[in-house]
Chain A
Amino acid sequence: MKHNLDKLSAIFNRYPQNRESLIAVLQDIQKEYHYLPEEALQATAKTLDVPLSKVFSVATFYNAFSHYPRGEKIIRICVGTTCHIRGAHLVQEQLENRLNIKAGSTTKDLKYTLETVNCVGACSQAPVVIVNNKYYGHVKVSDAKKLLRSK
């Protein structure tokens, strides 16, 4: 996939160009493109003067980074302890069945990405599902359809 890499220089300029900025830069790239395009990793290595192998090792170590394009709608199911004992795994299964993908992947048409996350700090509303940054609390198994349709 080819990307418009013009936005990269703006991201690089936000930080001092050294090793310490690596994670922050990768986060901003991910925010911009919703994943880490390979070309962007190469540009990062060059700009921050960090070996490409190191950039890859950091990019693959942390859960927050995705190496594949993600969907338009990113659905994150909290599977923290509180959400778990309040039935998050059942909600997860419903969403997986409906989208026919496992958590951690994206539908072929790039419409939906399903992910899990370990506690977002809204445990009092457990179980919690986040659709493109909007929180839904006290989610029930029967809400799956509604979540997929939500904006």
Chain B
Amino acid sequence: MHLDNPQQLIDWHDKIIAKQKKIKKKILVCCGPGCLANGAQDIIDKFKTVLKEKKISGFTVEALKETGCHGFCEQGPLVVMEPKGLYYTKVKVKDVEDIIEQSIKNDKIIDRLLYNDPQTDKKIERYQDIKFYSHQKKVVLNNLGNINQCNIEDYIANDGYQALSKVITSMSPQKVIDTITKSGLRGRGGAGFPTGRKWATCRKVESDTHYVICNGDEGDPGAFMDRALMEGDPFSVLEGMTIAAFAVGAKQGYIYVREEYPLAVVNLQKAIEIANEKGLLGDNILGTDFSFNIKISRGAGAFVCGESSALMKSVAGEVGEPRAKYVRSVVKGLYDRPTVLNNVETFANVPIIIRKGASWYQKIGTPKNSGTKAFSLVGKVRNTGLIEVAMGTTLREIIYDIGGGIIDDRPFKAVQTGGPSGGCLPASKLDLPVDFDSLNEAGSMMGSGGMIVMDDLTCMVDVAKYFLGFLVNESCGKCVPCREGLYQLHALTVKVSEGKAEEADLEKMEKLSEMVIIGSLCGLGKSGPNPLLSTIKYFRDEYMAHIRDKRCPAGVCRALITYKITDACTGCMACIAPCPTNAITGKKNEMHVIDQELCTKCGACFAVCRYDAILVS
């Protein structure tokens, strides 16, 4: 059915609601990035076969939903049963028949699949009662985990496309821009530029064509919010882009998706086709004279292509090198035309703001940082997953209340935000409210939303070395300060990690960082030294331990550590075969020894030892 006017959308919405009301019970299987990696697809397939074999009255395959990321990846694969919110964790294929037999047919709860709260050691039945969920505020991620990934009926049943309809029927482009400006929405791609202001500038530029581009490059390693949104709620991104196109007067849009996300491409493509078919995208949207088309452009594995001018070159099929920004891309962007570029999450916020109003949105978060922010909470934290909190929530609430603290109750050391452009914040900053400005002030950055928690076994010199190595690889090489400066900074961190640096090298690094920041052409170089500077600022002692004492306190930097076997060794021989250099000798039931000459410190023995008998020092 093609929708030829806004009224038909309303009618369709009512029809879908009436139809869905009849579905009393629903099984939601999480197909987010984490659960998929854990075998969610096999679980879906099994559910389908079993449901086909066994006819269950009042329950059809339609009530089985393949949803986007439900959030609690650590506990995946997840299966949720509505309406109660009954929540099963770590589900395996062999549990599927049980779930159908007991929980669907007979409304019984399967105890062994429930989540066990580690603090109280009690089982929890409903996900809403789990601390990981109860401390969050879901706005932009609300559909994920609730609706079928590429199902437009589910999207519409959850008020999808009402915003677009409202914009087309009752708002002028200027009014749309005013609403977004008033909501205080700032770009979720990292820098936090006010979205309304960007749109307003673009609209004012006279041109034969305007473009709208969605940045789905998600280059920060350790971040997967945008992946989860593009895969799990693609229509919200399309609707947001379409509204932006209406506001700035664009007819053509692009979504730039990173190549590591093949499923995002598939789901977005499907969603685009469906939206076109329904008249919610393409020519004469909802029967009006407003037309907008979206094409997908796949990235090819270059971090720098997340940067606006490089991304636009890449969309045009060229080498993704940034250019100087004395003329901004909202004025002269793709094919030298005025172009609005926003992040995936930014666009996904737009329909919600239009639907619920700017003042509603503005009340969430803090005055200068309204709304919520999605994060991927990962690293050495107990509850890893995809979360969303109101801006201004403290790091402590995120890491301890939602994240459940550090794995094995080890001490918290640092949290890394903002990817290679961000920094590491220490325990003294745990009460920092998380928003664009506070993070910048503390020497880090919001970035696109990766939040990587580190414990005392993570070496800050190693982290700085890691990010600089990453950036050396990813620098496009066009400007010297970035290409050579980051290279030298990386070499200096290598020197520190090998215990060969002197105190003067620290100063050298700080000075050189300053030059890289001032001299680089684009954001990659300009923010590249941040991980280094923030670790020197907050963890100077650790640098000094490497430099002065030739010691790596976290036991990570290879040149400075040794592996030793302690008398906890039972002589089980498990470590002997994995050692690639045959450095370990020993007989059954006798303590083993490592030949330090042969040991390459690869950690293979440490990883297999079940008796904590291998000591790193």
**Chain B residues, Cβ within 8 Å of A64:** 259, 299-301
**Chain B residues, Cβ within 8 Å of A82:** 221-222, 378-379, 452
Beta-carbon contacts under 8 Å, A94-151 to B: 94, 97-98, 117-126, 128, 135-137, 140-142
**Chain A residues, Cβ within 8 Å of B222:** 80-82, 119, 123
Q: Is the CB of A118 within 8 A of B303?
A: yes
Beta-carbon contacts under 8 Å, B560-613 to A: 578, 580, 602-604, 607-608
In addition to A23-B314, A118-B470, 12 A-B residue pairs with Cβ atoms within 8 Å of each other are A19-B317, A22-B318, A57-B319, A61-B320, A62-B300, A62-B301, A81-B463, A85-B463, A94-B604, A123-B224, A124-B384, A135-B37
Chain B 10-41 interface mask (CB, 8 Å, partner A; 1/0): 00000000000000000000000110111000
Q: Is the CB of A125 within 8 A of B224?
A: no
Q: Is the CB of A142 within 8 A of B314?
A: no
Q: Is the CB of B604 within 8 A of A80?
A: no
Chain B 231-259 interface mask (CB, 8 Å, partner A; 1/0): 00000000000000000000000000001
A27 on the B face (CB < 8 A): yes
**Chain B residues, Cβ within 8 Å of A27:** 259, 298, 300
Q: Is the CB of B580 within 8 A of A97?
A: yes
Q: Is the CB of A94 within 8 A of B314?
A: no
Q: Is the CB of A84 within 8 A of B603?
A: no
- The answer to whether residues A124 and B259 also contact, given A81-B452, A118-B303, A141-B608 and a CB cut-off of 8 A, is no
**What are 25 of the A-B contact pairs (CB < 8 Å)?**
A20-B315, A21-B317, A22-B317, A23-B298, A62-B301, A63-B301, A79-B221, A86-B380, A90-B602, A94-B602, A118-B219, A118-B474, A119-B220, A120-B260, A121-B223, A121-B228, A122-B34, A122-B36, A124-B74, A124-B384, A125-B38, A137-B37, A141-B603, A142-B604, A142-B607
**Chain A residues, Cβ within 8 Å of B219:** 118
A82–B259 Cα distance when bound, in Å, is 19
Q: Is the CB of A122 within 8 A of B33?
A: yes
Chain B 302-317 interface mask (CB, 8 Å, partner A; 1/0): 1100000000001111
Query: Which one, B220, B303, B320, B379, contacts A85 given CB within 8 A?
Result: B379
Nearest-neighbor residue (CB-CB) of B296 within chain A: A24
**Chain A residues, Cβ within 8 Å of B300:** 23, 26-27, 62-65
**Interface residue tally on A, bucketed by range:** 35 or more
Chain B 210-221 interface mask (CB, 8 Å, partner A; 1/0): 000000001111
Chain B nearest CB, measured from A56 CB (Å): 10
Q: Is the CB of A20 within 8 A of B317?
A: yes
Interface SS majority for chain A? helix
- The answer to whether residues A140 and B607 also contact, given A119-B221, A123-B376, A124-B73 and a CB cut-off of 8 A, is yes
A52 on the B face (CB < 8 A): no
A81–B149 Cα distance when bound, in Å, is 28
Nearest-neighbor residue (CB-CB) of A145 within chain B: B578
**Chain A residues, Cβ within 8 Å of B527:** none
Chain B nearest CB, measured from A27 CB (Å): 6
Q: Is the CB of A81 within 8 A of B302?
A: no
Please indicate which of the listed interface residues A19, A98, A136, A137 has the most CB atoms of chain B within 10 Å of its own CB.
A137
B416 on the A face (CB < 8 A): yes
Nearest-neighbor residue (CB-CB) of A81 within chain B: B222
A128–B318 Cα distance when bound, in Å, is 31
A122–B386 Cα distance when bound, in Å, is 10
Point out residues on B near A: beta carbons under 8 Å: 33-34, 36-38, 73-74, 76, 218-224, 227-228, 259-261, 297-303, 314-320, 376, 378-380, 384-385, 416, 419, 450, 452, 454, 458, 463, 466-467, 470, 474, 476, 578, 580, 602-604, 607-608
**Chain B residues, Cβ within 8 Å of A119:** 220-224, 260
Q: Is the CB of B317 within 8 A of A122?
A: no
Q: Is the CB of B298 within 8 A of A94?
A: no
**Chain B residues, Cβ within 8 Å of A124:** 33-34, 73-74, 76, 376, 378, 384-385
Chain A nearest CB, measured from B392 CB (Å): 25
**Chain B residues, Cβ within 8 Å of A128:** 37
Nearest-neighbor residue (CB-CB) of B226 within chain A: A121
Chain A nearest CB, measured from B530 CB (Å): 14
A65–B315 Cα distance when bound, in Å, is 16
Chain B nearest CB, measured from A28 CB (Å): 10
A28–B150 Cα distance when bound, in Å, is 24
Nearest-neighbor residue (CB-CB) of A20 within chain B: B317
Nearest-neighbor residue (CB-CB) of B467 within chain A: A81
Query: Which one, B33, B302, B419, B604, contacts A90 given CB within 8 A?
Result: B604
A118–B476 Cα distance when bound, in Å, is 16
**Chain A residues, Cβ within 8 Å of B34:** 122, 124-125, 137
Q: Is the CB of A135 within 8 A of B378?
A: no
Chain B nearest CB, measured from A146 CB (Å): 12
Nearest-neighbor residue (CB-CB) of B260 within chain A: A120
Q: Is the CB of A61 within 8 A of B297?
A: no
**Chain A residues, Cβ within 8 Å of B476:** 61
**Chain B residues, Cβ within 8 Å of A120:** 33, 260
Query: Which one, B384, B419, B452, B578, contacts A141 given CB within 8 A?
Result: B578
